[in-house]
Chains A and B, each alone.
Chain A
Amino acid sequence: MKAPLRVIGTSFRKTDGMAKTTGRTLFADDLVLPGMLFAKILRSTRPHARILRIDTSRAERHAGVAAVLTGQAMPIRFGILPVSQDEHALAIDRVRYVGDPVAAVAAVDEDTAEEALRLIDVEYEDLPAIMSFEDAVRLADTRIHEDSQEGNLQKVVAMQFGETDQAIAGADVAFEDLVFYEGNTHLPMEQHAAAALFDGDGKLTLWSATQTPHYVHRALAKVLELRPSCVRVIATPNGGGFGGKSDPFSHEIVVSKLSMLTGRPVKITLTREEVFYCHRGRHPVTMWVRSGFTKEGRIAGLRFRTYLDGGAHGSYGVASTYYTGALQTVTYKVPAYTFEGARAFTNKPPCGPKRGHGTPQPRFALEIHMDKAAEKLGIDPIEIRRRNLVESNSVTANWLRIGSCGLAACMDAVEKGSNWKERHGKLPRGHGLGFAVSSYLSGAGLPIYWNDMPHSAVQLKLDRSGLVTAFCGAIDIGQGSDSVLAGIIAEILGIDPIRDIRLVMADTDLTPVDLGSYSSRVTLMMGNAAIQAAERAREQMLGPVSKKLGIPRERLIFAEGRVFDAEDPSKGCTFAEAVQIAEAAAGSIGSMGSYVPPRSPGRYKGAGVGPSPAYSFSACVVEAKVDPKTGWIEIPKVWIGHDIGRSINEMLVIGQVEGGVYMGLGEALMEEQTFRRNVHKIPSMLDYKSPTTLDMPEVVTYLIEDPDPNGPFGAKEAGQGPLLPVVPAVANAVYNAVGVRIDELPITPERVLKGLDLVAKGKPGRIGPVAVPKVDFPPPLRVRTPWEGGDGTAVKGETQVYRGQPS
């Protein structure tokens, strides 16, 4: 029998809250092992060059140096995606960006290692530096990687769902936009760090601040040519990840190899500057959007082109490219949709997945575009979105299955909260409101490497003391996934999430696989696995306890640390006694639960990116005050509604939403991963501008609970989605305040003032890109939409011919 929820939905304390707030959490850099050596990595000072010679002899002779390592010792390539295994742990014959790892030293302390780095002589032969998408096209013969699709274009995709061009041509209003989203980085508080120990039994253990211990496990085994069963990866608590610790990294392989060479533990902690070089952050993306609307404001057709500046490696880039086209259809009903995307290699630190992975850029373009459509058609910006709102339990043009959708309620909440109807367009000059919506995945439908195994699993061991130990491969990166796990188990077994549960997490030797803390997947996938494990454990206890206490099993309730009779709560026993009864009757109590997402209806090439068991939805109103004399933008208040399905822990959800608002404001207003003289212009926490807590405006969060059948207790994601609408809502608010359209990020006072100058001269106050890079897209893969009677596969008989770039 089920009792009312007692833990789920409350703001119970974070499982690691005390340790974190009292400074007692042990991060990777805190680890100290007997005889430990310290590693440092020598990095390229050239953006693009051949390595002619590396002489490490002086470094090897330096007192206190235990080992010096170069790329020759690790020739096997790796990378997060099977399709782009394009990284070496240390460069072998070529460096591809300033900051590319070239050699490494292990020494008795950091000072000695640093001194030794300066004794390594590297002779380079410079190659042309490719610093932009346009350079990549122009210098196609200077290939950064030999295995790119064409020249320096790593990936070019084109797909069409329905008769898009006809639909746009037949619409009442058609128009287009060019938009640019600047690259930016994650800026976690904790720098990446890792320690390795290759022990006397030939087994390797790596402790690392990683979001994806399972994928690091695979990469280590591959590059170091070790049996996977002899490699153990323990993810340490992450001091923030945001996607920046989701790849296997050079430094993780380097400390492992150095430990194998020296037989001693080896640790590395990157400097902040090195974290900027690891990057894997937001791609700079130039976008072209074209749409047709009916005069009632309904979308008739939509075309999207995206040009991603990928940096020096593949990383998640192929997925990022598809993501720039995937989720446009999840908020609005788009009857016909065409997407074309291209990713270029450039001589900059590799881009990858940052909070929202590939979707904030097109969302920024789309929400600006919707705002402009509303104005052209004389419809309120919120109303035009209502008219296009996607339906719950529907399938989109590109074959994504939408489950629950609480977007309408999110929109209502922020419309009411911000007093939109009374204030939008009615505030004095310089003061405005902007609106935007978005959607995000609660976990990707497919794993990173193709397999049919569970995406997450939870194992429980019940002790006769009443302790429940949970084993799971998921890693808490600060978002509170440990607390989600404890809360779910506590709810089902009726115990206390802090006192009665021990978590053993993210240790590839001890814990069943969870794919990692990325794509907002942990609450949904680990949560479902935890429900299954906890219900199985309860099931094992029900029979023996029912028999022993003489209470029918269907009347037994697990709550408040007891197992008792629903009809007479005084009749029962403690949870520990229940475990003892069950253990005496059936032997030790333990259980396993696992989760595999449902299959997506999409079957065409590229359909693997976008599907999710459940989509979260967000709506946001941003208030902006713009000083017409300086262009200065102040954001006094943000209202955000988020469809969470159901909160597992309300406080943690609000924390995630507010964190998303912070990060969105940073990207909207100031963050820039920019380069000058072929090098990162500002690789420091002071000079790379991001808002601090003191710069944050008031944020009003509305949690919309529309439980999704695929979510644990109905829960959906909160970690990434709430960032998405904030960025375009800022742009729309600035427009509403001063009539200037800033179609590129960041929205700075310089750009606003330039726009105001244009307005003063009687020109359109629009600042943004004026051209897109030259890419000849192939004819699109054609897929019939569900309403055209399609079956999710590509139309047969049409092969995709890639024409290559114009010469």
Chain B
Amino acid sequence: MMRNPKFRYVAPTSVDEALRVLADHGPEAMPIAGGTDLIPKMKRRQFEPKVVIGLSRLRELASIDGDPASGLVVGAGVTLAELRDNATVRQAYPAVSRTMSLIANPLIQNMGTIGGNLCLDTRCNYYDQTHSWRESIDFCMKKEGKICWVAPSSPRCWAVTSTDSAPLLIAMDARVTLRSVRGDREIPAGDLFRDDGMRWLDKEPDELLTAVRLPAVNGWRATYRKLRRRGSIDFPVLGVGAWARFEGDRVAEARIVLGAVGSRPHEVPEASSALIGRPLDADSIASAAEAAYARGKPLDNTDFMMNWRKRMIREYVTRALGDLGSPIPAA
């Protein structure tokens, strides 16, 4: 079987203590919540932290507070299954509940956390391989190597954002809290991500993502559509988060965010513009889908062929916007 490298495990009992440990160890330390991303990657030697900081004892990260009228605050340590099943979330934020049910499978939803899913390492089928496999292609720039095999002349890494929660949360304008011994900051969820497969999070090594703030519910609608090979388990090869607020029968505000077709989830303002001031009908949806299609640039480093994935952007944006005009199915 595959074995973990040796590491020191620290289990702080408060967030403050966790932040101090993170600050003390700098980039050598990595926090672990559900471990569903970290552990396999440690076994494949993609991550080799000297210190692993366990977050499971931090009760402060495990609660869902607030109410839909003013917004919910979801602790980063809340599991995907808890968020999926929470009665308030199911009733007031059905798209959030449903999106959680689309992540991996129920076993991983039981272990994985919302904070962990947002921070999920970018993925690439030249990178998500064992050490000896990567050695056989002389590694890649994301770990131990020099070039990006997806685009060998590129100076940057093109690993793919694969979080399912981010496209929806960004579209909803959720905010995330980052804490460190240096202070706390709350930023829009979209600002957490960078367009760089190697440094995909705008988060310092001493910062801990502690909470996600869902916006107040006041008539907007949101959805997430996911494309993957098998409905039973897989990572997305395309995700579409969509959000809209209506005034009368017209779209007043909208956001469309594409996941899994670049290194960061990216909002497509051209697609939103195509909707604003118009009814959500076949014409406006087609213009928005076309705008999103033009912006999506998947590369050949996930399951499925990239040209087909690109074509699917049009179809999946159309479906997502169709959701906004009809009742969102429960999880």
Instruction: Report the bound CA distance from A678 to B130 in whole Å.
Output: 16
Please list the residues of chain A having a beta carbon within 8 angstroms of any beta carbon in chain B.
29, 43, 45-46, 98, 110-111, 114, 191, 269, 271-273, 629-631, 670, 677-684, 686-687, 689, 691-695, 748-750, 753
Residue of A nearest to B309 (CB): A750
The 3 A-B pairs of least Cβ separation, nearest first, read A694-B232, A45-B136, A750-B308
Q: Which of B132, B133, B137, B232 contacts A695 (CB 8 A)?
A: B232
Cα–Cα, bound, A292→B178 (Å): 73
Contact (Cβ within 8 A) A695 B230? yes
Task: Across the interface, name the chain A residue whose C-beta is closest to B302.
Answer: A687
Whole-angstrom distance between the Cβ of B91 and the nearest chain A Cβ: 27
The answer to whether B133 touches A683 (Cβ under 8 A) is: yes
Complex Cα gap A692–B228 (Å): 14
Does chain A have a CB within 8 A of B69?
no
Contacts of A670 on B, CB cut-off 8 Å?
A: 229-230
Q: Is A694 within 8 A of B231, CB to CB? A: yes
| Contact pattern, B 121-163, Cβ under 8 Å of A = 1, otherwise 0 | 0000100111011011100000000000100000000000000
The contact string, 1 if C-beta is below 8 Å from chain A, for chain B 224-247, is 000001111110000000000000
Taking A46-B136, A679-B137, A681-B125 as known contacts, 7 extra A-B pairs with beta carbons closer than 8 A to each other, sorted by chain A number, are: A45-B132, A98-B133, A670-B230, A677-B149, A679-B136, A683-B129, A683-B133
Q: Are A630 and B315 in contact (CB under 8 A)?
A: yes
B residues adjacent to A (C-beta < 8 A): 1-3, 6, 125, 128-130, 132-133, 135-137, 149, 229-234, 303-305, 307-308, 311-312, 315
Contact indicator B230/A691 (Cβ below 8 Å): yes
Residues on the B chain within 8 Å of A691, using CB? 230
Contact of B3 among A110, A686, A695 (CB under 8 A): A110
Q: Which residues of B contact A630 (CB under 8 A)?
A: 312, 315
Chain B residues positioned under 8 Å from A684 (CB to CB): 128-129
- Give the dominant DSSP class at B's interface: loop
Q: Roughly how many angstroms separate A695 CA and B233 CA in the complex, as a whole number?
A: 10
Given known A629-B315, A750-B305, contact A271–B1 (CB-CB < 8 A): yes
Across the interface, A692 reaches (CB within 8 A) one of B135, B233, B304, namely: B233
Among B130, B135, B229, B305, point to the contact of A273 (Cβ < 8 A).
B130
Q: How many A-B residue pairs have CB under 8 A?
A: 69
Contact B133 A271 (CB under 8 A): no
Residues of B within 8 A of A679 (CB): 133, 136-137
Residues in A with CB closer than 8 Å to B312 are: 630
**Is there an interface contact between A687 and B2, defined as CB atoms closer than 8 Å?**
no
Q: Is the CB of A749 within 8 A of B308?
A: yes
User: How far apart sit A111 and B125, CA to CA, in the bound complex (Å)?
Assistant: 26
Set of chain B residues within 8 Å of A686, measured between Cβ atoms: 233-234
The residues of A that contact B304 with a CB separation of less than 8 Å are 748-750
Q: How distant is the Cα of A491 from the Cα of B6 in the complex, in angstroms?
A: 56
Q: List 12 A-B contacts (CB under 8 A).
A: A98-B133, A111-B6, A271-B130, A630-B315, A679-B133, A682-B125, A686-B234, A687-B125, A694-B232, A695-B230, A749-B304, A753-B311
Most-contacted residue by chain B among A191, A670, A681, A750 (CB, 10 A) = A750
- When chains A and B are docked, how far (Å) is the Cα of A679 from the Cα of B139? 13
Select from chain B the residue with minimum beta-carbon distance to A272. Answer: B2
Shortest Cβ distance from B128 into A: residue: A687
Q: Is the CB of A114 within 8 A of B3?
A: yes
Instruction: Give the residues in chain B near A43, CB-CB below 8 Å.
Output: 132
With a CB–CB cut-off of 8 A, which chain A residues contact B1?
Answer: 29, 110, 191, 269, 271
Q: Of all chain A residues, which has the CB nearest B229?
A: A689
Choice from A45, A631, A678, A689 contacting B230 with Cβ under 8 Å: A689
List of A residues within 8 angstroms of B136 by Cβ: 45-46, 98, 678-679
Q: How far is the CA of A694 from the CA of B229 in the complex (A)?
A: 13
User: Across the two chains, which residue of chain B brings its CB closest to A273?
Assistant: B130
Q: Closest CB of chain B to A129's CB: distance in Å?
A: 11
Asked whether, in the complex, the Cβ of A692 is within 8 Å of the Cβ of B230, the reply is yes
Question: What separation, in Å, do the CA atoms of A680 and B137 have in the docked complex?
Answer: 11
Is B137 in contact with A677, judged by CB distance below 8 angstroms? yes
Complex-state Cα separation, A631 to B130, whole angstroms: 33
Q: Nearest CB to that of A670 among chain B residues?
A: B229
Identify the closest chain B residue to A690 (Cβ). B230
Interface centre among B2, B135, B136, B312 (most CB of A within 10 A): B136
CA A750 to CA B307, docked complex, whole Å: 9
Q: How far is the CB of B37 from chain A (nearest CB, A)?
A: 12
Q: Chain A residues with Cβ under 8 A from B137's Cβ? A: 677, 679
Closest to A271 in B: B2
Q: Which residues of the other chain, B, contact A631 by a CB distance below 8 angstroms?
A: 308
Which residue on B lies nearest to A113, using beta carbons? Answer: B3
Residue of B nearest to A696 (CB): B232
Q: Is the CB of A273 within 8 A of B133?
A: yes
Chain B residue numbers with a CB within 8 Å of A272 are 2
What residues of chain B lie closer than 8 Å to A750, measured between beta carbons? 304-305, 307-308
**A residues within 8 A CB of B234?**
686, 689
CB distance from A84 to the nearest CB of B (A): 26
Q: Which residues of A contact B149 (CB under 8 A)?
A: 677
Count chain A CB atoms within 10 A of each CB in B3, B135, B231, B307 and give the residue with the most: B3
Q: Min CB distance, A601 to chain B, in Å?
A: 47
A749 to B315 CA separation, bound complex (whole angstroms)? 13
Inter-chain CA distance A271–B1, complex, in Å, is: 5
